[in-house]
Every structure is written in C-alpha cells, then in structure tokens.
A and B are shown apart, each in its own frame.
Chain A
Amino acid sequence: MAMKIGEDKFFERVDKGVQNTFMRNAVVSAQERMQGKRLAAVEELGNWEEWRKLGEEIRTHTLENIDYYLEQLSENVTKRGGHVFFASTKEEANEYISKVAKEKRAKKVVKSKSMVTEEINLNAALEKAGCEVIETDLGEYILQLDDHDPPSHIVVPALHKNKEQIRDTFKEKRGYDKSEIPEELALFAREQLRQEFLSADLGITGCNFAVAESGSISLVTNEGNAGLVTALPKTQITVMGMERIVPTWEELDILVSLLCRSSVGQKLTSYITGLTGPKDEGDVDGPEEFHLVIVDNGRSNILGTEFQSALNCIRCAACVNVCPVYRHIGGHSYGSIYAGPIGAVLTPLLGGYEDYKELPYASSLCAACTDACPVKIPLHELLIKHRRKIVEDEKKSPFAEKLAMKGYQLAASSPSLYKAGTKSASTVMAPFTQSNSIQKGPGPMKPWTDVRDFPAPNKERFRDWYKKREKGEE
C-alpha cells in the first residue's frame, strides 16, 4: 500500500476510529504497557537527557552534512561489491527494484518490515513484475493475509487486531485449525514462513540505519526475520529513506540504543544485524548480489525548512505511545502509514496539505510527544508551524473557520460590537446548549462538539458580574 491509506475523509476516519471499541481498548492498553516499559528503561539509565542530547546532536550533524555521508556510504557499498541506486521518486525506486527482480527472474520475494517500502507501495510494483511478495514480520504477515489491512502503528502494525480476528484470518486464508492462543498462532506462522525463507529468490529489507564509514546497513528486529531474509535468498535489496544514516559505528551504537529503549523498552532487541555488501567470497549464506536503494520521495523538500528536524525521526513510535489523540482515534484515522504525532508532522510534508491539512490539528499540543522523543524533535512546535502555514501561507483553513475568525477580528477590534456580541452569546447559543454545554455546535465548533463538551457562554457576563460586585451587590 502507499503512504495514503483509504479514501475516507478525515472526520469519517475519526468517526470509524472512535466507534471501534476493541481498537481503542487495545490502543489504551498498548500505550500504557509500552510507555511503562520505556519509562523503566529510561529510568534505569539515569542520565536519559544526556543520551537524548547526544542523539539530537548526531542526527542534526548528519542531516546538515547528508550529501557527504550519502556519498561516503555509496562509495563504501560499491567497494564491497554492492550496487547503489539513488531514487528521487517512488516511481524510480520501484522501477529499479522491479528491473532487478526481472533480471534475476525472481518469482518469490520475502520481506522484512519496512515503512519506506510501504510508503513507496513496493509490493504492488513487485506483484506487477510477476513476483509473489511475502511479508515475514508476524504483524505484517497478519495484515497481508487479511486482505492487505493497513498498519496502524509504526512498531506494532497489527495492534488494532485481536487474536480471534487473527485466528479467523489464518483459518480462512491458510487453513489454520487451532486456537486463538498467541503461541499457537505464532508457531503456525513460523511453519508457514520457514519454507518461504528457504525458497525465496529475493530478500527485501528496510534499513534502520546505514553506516557511512563502512557502507553497512543495520536491521533491528525481535523476530530474527531480517536475518533470514538477508541470509538465505541469492539477491538482497535494501531500501532506505535517505535520512536513515549515521557517520560511523560509534553513532550507530547511540541511535540503536535510543531506538530499542524508546520503542519497546529493551536495552537491545533480540536481533541487530549489521550487513556490509554481498557475502564475501567463500561465504555460504548471505546474498550473492546486494542492492541499496536510497529514497528521497519528498524528503529533500524538508531540508533547509523550518521542518528539517522532522527528518531526525528514528521511527521508534515513542511519540505515538504517549499521544492522547492517537489513544482516542487510533492509527487508521491518520489516513497515512505514519500515524501519531510524527505522522501528523511528516505526512503533510511528504503527502501535501491537500490530503492531510487536518492532521496538524489532530493534536492537543500537550507536548508529551516532544518530551518522549529520543532525538528531541520539537513535535508540538512543528505542529503549530504547520497550522500557521496552512492558515497564513496556504489559506487552506475551512470557509466557516475563516468566516468565524474574520467575525471575531471585527468584533474584538470594536468595543461596541464586542459588548453586543458577549451580551447576545448566551441567547445565540441557546438552541445548541444543554446542561451548560454546547452540543452539536455550529460551523467550526461541530467537529469538536461531536466528540467533546464545549462550555456554553455564561448568561451573566464577567463585566456585569464585576460591576455588581463593585457596587456591593454580590
């Protein structure tokens, strides 16, 4: 699937999310558990702010010099016999990967979890090139079997599904005949996927971080599927967003440590694999041919702008796990594979305001995301910058909101109009008022009052009350 998931409008997606009780409970429980694990891991270190500071310094320096490090990376990959393709667009990336697949006469492709391959809709391109594509991360495998249901969380993509739904999917699509016990489900997936690893022609991975000094790529998983995807097929293609790079192995240490603690509360995940080029001469396992595809797809447009720090993101989802809005509406409501606060920042930058202008407003601006971010991206400030840009530069705020703001500007700049307005507010809002709160409010109030209370204007204005008090009547 592409970055955009579904054609529903924002408020239709939110409605669906709010009404999905199972999903909301799953999200609440997941947020609490993941946040708890993260905090425990952070507390154990004792100097987390120092780690964050270092993480931010590394990411900022690398991005500011990204041309140098990408060039160094590509030189070092080729020295080890790998090929590097720089793709400005998703179309270029997909075309190159499909070409390699055709040249290799690849029929079966195994993949480890990768957000950037979702973003560029690689699976569809490979299928068009005649390949069968098999997702091997358990969560992604479940979603793929369930008619390509979109991921709803960056780290735990099938978070919105319960075990009964997974059992039914396995039953319907793969003839599974056991229970909904997670261990049984996982064992079944293991058996199903084992032969796929062994018989695949092509292995495709994302890239958590590439290391410029040696031309290496690193893959961080708990399942070990990335190890199998890269050890067994004869050809490996790794797709990386161009910003996923560190200068040396020393910085890889810091960013992997920040990633593992922030995403799943582990010191390190079960498997972290550093791969450099294709296999060496004499090696038995490992790919004979290695291709690294470095993807821009809109990222360079973020460089040099007020949003550049969004590219510091290491995809840990710590911001998602603390967000009260994500908690309320779930991942699919964002309409993008990038959900939560970083999704609300990144998606409009990559996908444009036309489709995603509502996302920067899907935030309480409580700054919990900013506090949680291990590389100190000022997420809530970036959301405000988006809002300013949408209203002032792009003039994309809704007509009713523009009208309301115009009206307020007019009334607030005229004492007599302001007086008249505040006097009549209570009467004007009376048809929408029940028990001192506005329900089903008009115009721009509607989306808010559909899901939240909004206090009705007091019948007595503050000025009137103050006057009475001065006179000793109160």
Chain B
Amino acid sequence: MGKGQVYNRESFLNTVVAKLGRERKTNVSKPVWTTTPQFEVLKDASQDELVDVLKKHCEVIHTQFIETNLEKLTQTIRNVFEQYEVGSIVTWKDERHREFGLDEGLLTQLPNEGTSVHIWDPALKEKNIQAAEKADVGITFSDITLAESGTVVLFSNENKGRSVSLLPKTYIAIVPKSTLVPRMTQATSIISKQVQAGEKISSCIDFITGPSNSADIELNLIVGVHGPIKATYILVNDK
C-alpha cells in the first residue's frame, strides 16, 4: 500500500503553536494519569460472574442471550434460525467454524436443507456484499466480548467482512466464553499494545452492542433502523 499525502500541515500547526505561545513539540510523553477508575470496574469478577453481567445487560440492549456448550452449539444455532425463520445466512470465513464444530455440523448441511449459506470469500469481491444484503442472518464470532456493556468486538479483515454484522436483518454473535473481559478498557489496551509493538491493527474494529436503534422520533426507542433489527448472542462454554 502506498503512503498517503499530507497537505498544509506545517502552516496549520505553526499557527496552532503560535496561539499556544511556544515552539513546535517533537516529543511528548503521555503523563501518568492521577486516577484510573476504569480498572476498578469488575476487576475481581470471575469468568462466570462476567457471564452473569453480560447476560443481565443483554436485557437492557434488546439482545437475546443464550448460553450453551460446544456439543450443543449447532443445535442452539438451528433453534435460533427456526425462531427467526431463516432462509439464508452469511458468515465469515473463520477458522473457528472448524474449532467449534460448525463446518461439518452446520454450514455444509444447511444448503441440503434449503437454507442458503454464503461464506465470505475475498475472491468473490462485491458478490459478498450482495449476499450480505440479501441474507436473513449474519453470523460472526466475537473476537473480544465486553461484559459490562454487552459488546462484541469484531476485527475485520479480508475473510471477515464488515457487512456481515451490518447488512442482514438479524445478527448472531457466537461468543466464546474465553473472549469475555470486564469492559472496553481491556479491549482498547490490547489494541494499544498491538500498535506499540508495531503490529498492523485491523482497518475496521467494530464494537457492537445489540441491534441498531434510534430515539430520533419524540425520543421513542425504535429497535432496528439501518443495521440489524434483532440480535442474539450465543455464549459458548469453550474452556
């Protein structure tokens, strides 16, 4: 990837420092903040307690919460499909499908049963987006899950398209229990450490907390505006 261009930076920043009454700074150390309340939130909570927090908060964010184990995961997903009357799905090309027994147990079976399955494939380019737009359900794994706010964090890449969680009418997040952390603090810390280690972070990191909603009409909460109208988190006891 080529380097981008910067325009007008010098004059702009020189104006800024002139107003601040000093010279340009070439090195700034971030101070040690005098207080760090973010680390206090759920700091002693066990993984099971985090599950309880997540489960409870799903009620607030209009999201169905289902807890299951690896053995029952396939059937649990099938049950949700039935509930949503699903005829087509779109999902990532994800190693975890195999790890969680979804490849053979579900994804290869569904087309034989009349449910269309589109697995994101960069070689298919725009057809992926068209499939996501037509799909009844988008399914992704959660990469990191924030118990406090009921948020799934998704790191997109060529196999993990952004549209899967955005375009279909319903969204299902498979939440491995091992991905649970107390709050956003732990997720942003992971990302920040990647940056500091010189690693390339994902071009799109989505923090998704339930279905799309709006309160723009007389402050009435409307669930489902541009993105998914319904959302389900399936927590899997993976460890």
Residue positions of A touching B, CB distance < 8 A: 26, 29-30, 33-34, 45, 47, 50-51, 53-54, 57-58, 61, 64-71, 74-75, 77-88, 92, 96, 136-139, 142, 156-159, 162-163, 166, 182-183, 185-187, 189-190, 193-194, 197-198, 213-214, 216, 222-225, 227-228, 230-232, 242, 247-250, 252-254, 256-257, 264, 266-286, 290, 294, 296, 300-301, 303-304
Which of A57, A68, A87, A282 is in CB contact (< 8 Å) with B122?
A: A282
**Which of B26, B41, B146, B227 has the largest number of chain A CB atoms within 10 A?**
B227
With contacts A66-B16, A280-B157, A294-B12 known, is A223 near B4, CB below 8 A? no
Which of A224, A247, A252 is in CB contact (< 8 Å) with B226?
A: A224
Q: What are 20 A-B interface contacts by the 8 Å CB criterion?
A: A45-B41, A47-B37, A54-B34, A57-B35, A81-B4, A86-B7, A138-B216, A139-B214, A142-B216, A156-B219, A162-B218, A182-B220, A223-B213, A228-B226, A231-B162, A231-B163, A247-B30, A253-B188, A280-B158, A286-B204
A264 to B222, CA, bound (A): 14
Residue in B closest to A198 when the chains form the complex, CB atoms: B133
B residues in contact with A54, CB < 8 Å? 33-38
| Interface mask (B3-25 → A, CB under 8 Å = 1, otherwise 0) | 11111110111011101110011
Q: Does B114 contact A (CB under 8 A)?
A: no
Q: Judging by beta carbons under 8 Å apart, are B210 and A270 in contact?
A: yes
A69 to B9, CA, bound (A): 12
Q: Which of B175-220 contact A (CB under 8 A)?
A: 184-185, 187-189, 191-192, 195-196, 200-220
Q: Judging by beta carbons under 8 Å apart, are B212 and A138 in contact?
A: no
A253 to B72, CA, bound (A): 35
A414 to B80, CA, bound (A): 85
Q: Judging by beta carbons under 8 Å apart, are B149 and A268 in contact?
A: yes
Q: Does B125 contact A (CB under 8 A)?
A: yes
B residues in contact with A249, CB < 8 Å? 188-189, 191-192, 195
A54 to B19, CA, bound (A): 25
Which of B8, B201, B217 is in CB contact (< 8 Å) with A86?
A: B8
Q: Judging by beta carbons under 8 Å apart, are A270 and B21 in contact?
A: no
Q: Does B64 contact A (CB under 8 A)?
A: no
Q: Judging by beta carbons under 8 Å apart, are A156 and B216 in contact?
A: yes
With contacts A186-B222, A248-B30 known, is A67 near B7, CB below 8 A? no
Distance in Å: Cβ of A121 to nearest Cβ of chain B: 20
Residue in A closest to B192 when the chains form the complex, CB atoms: A249
Q: Judging by beta carbons under 8 Å apart, are A69 and B28 in contact?
A: yes
Distance in Å: Cβ of B52 to nearest Cβ of chain A: 16
With contacts A136-B226, A270-B61 known, is A81 near B3, CB below 8 A? yes
Distance in Å: Cβ of A403 to nearest Cβ of chain B: 37
Residue positions of B touching A, CB distance < 8 A: 1-9, 11-13, 15-17, 19-21, 24-28, 30-31, 33-38, 40-41, 57, 61, 120, 122, 124-126, 128-129, 133, 146, 148-151, 156-158, 161-163, 166-167, 184-185, 187-189, 191-192, 195-196, 200-220, 222, 224-228
With contacts A223-B212, A231-B163, A284-B129 known, is A300 near B16, CB below 8 A? yes
With contacts A185-B217, A253-B184 known, is A271 near B227, CB below 8 A? yes
Distance in Å: Cβ of A221 to nearest Cβ of chain B: 9
**Which of A30, A71, A92 has the largest number of chain B CB atoms within 10 A?**
A71
With contacts A182-B222, A224-B226, A271-B227 known, is A283 near B157, CB below 8 A? yes
Distance in Å: Cβ of A248 to nearest Cβ of chain B: 5
A residues in contact with B149, CB < 8 Å? 266-268
A286 to B19, CA, bound (A): 38
Lowest 6 A-B CB distances belong to which pairs? Answer: A224-B227, A282-B158, A86-B12, A139-B216, A267-B149, A78-B4
Q: Judging by beta carbons under 8 Å apart, are B188 and A67 in contact?
A: no
Additional A-B contact list (4), CB under 8 Å, known A156-B219, A158-B216, A279-B203 = A270-B210, A270-B212, A276-B205, A284-B126
B residues in contact with A142, CB < 8 Å? 216-217
Q: Judging by beta carbons under 8 Å apart, are B158 and A224 in contact?
A: no
B residues in contact with A304, CB < 8 Å? 19-21
A residues in contact with B11, CB < 8 Å? 86, 88
Residue in A closest to B220 when the chains form the complex, CB atoms: A182
Q: Judging by beta carbons under 8 Å apart, are B38 and A57 in contact?
A: no
Distance in Å: Cβ of B53 to nearest Cβ of chain A: 11
A residues in contact with B204, CB < 8 Å? 230-231, 273-276, 279, 286
A96 to B205, CA, bound (A): 28
With contacts A273-B205, A286-B156 known, is A84 near B216, CB below 8 A? no
B residues in contact with A223, CB < 8 Å? 212-214, 225-227
Distance in Å: Cβ of A419 to nearest Cβ of chain B: 51
Which of B27, B35, B187 is in CB contact (< 8 Å) with A50?
A: B35
Q: Judging by beta carbons under 8 Å apart, are B217 and A58 in contact?
A: no
Q: Judging by beta carbons under 8 Å apart, are B148 and A267 in contact?
A: yes
Which of A136, A139, A276 is in CB contact (< 8 Å) with B203?
A: A276
A87 to B166, CA, bound (A): 32
A66 to B5, CA, bound (A): 20
Residue in B closest to A70 when the chains form the complex, CB atoms: B13
**Which of B6, B11, B15, B202 has the largest number of chain A CB atoms within 10 A?**
B6
Q: Judging by beta carbons under 8 Å apart, are A67 and B38 in contact?
A: no
B residues in contact with A57, CB < 8 Å? 31, 33-35
A residues in contact with B195, CB < 8 Å? 213-214, 248-249
A53 to B36, CA, bound (A): 10
A210 to B53, CA, bound (A): 30
**Which of B40, B57, B150, B219 has the largest number of chain A CB atoms within 10 A?**
B219
With contacts A88-B8, A268-B151 known, is A285 near B163, CB below 8 A? yes
Distance in Å: Cβ of A395 to nearest Cβ of chain B: 24
With contacts A70-B13, A85-B7 known, is A225 near B158, CB below 8 A? no
A54 to B11, CA, bound (A): 32
Residue in B closest to A112 when the chains form the complex, CB atoms: B226
B residues in contact with A285, CB < 8 Å? 128-129, 156, 161-163
Distance in Å: Cβ of B110 to nearest Cβ of chain A: 22
A residues in contact with B214, CB < 8 Å? 138-139, 186, 222-223
A136 to B126, CA, bound (A): 22
A residues in contact with B129, CB < 8 Å? 198, 232, 284-285
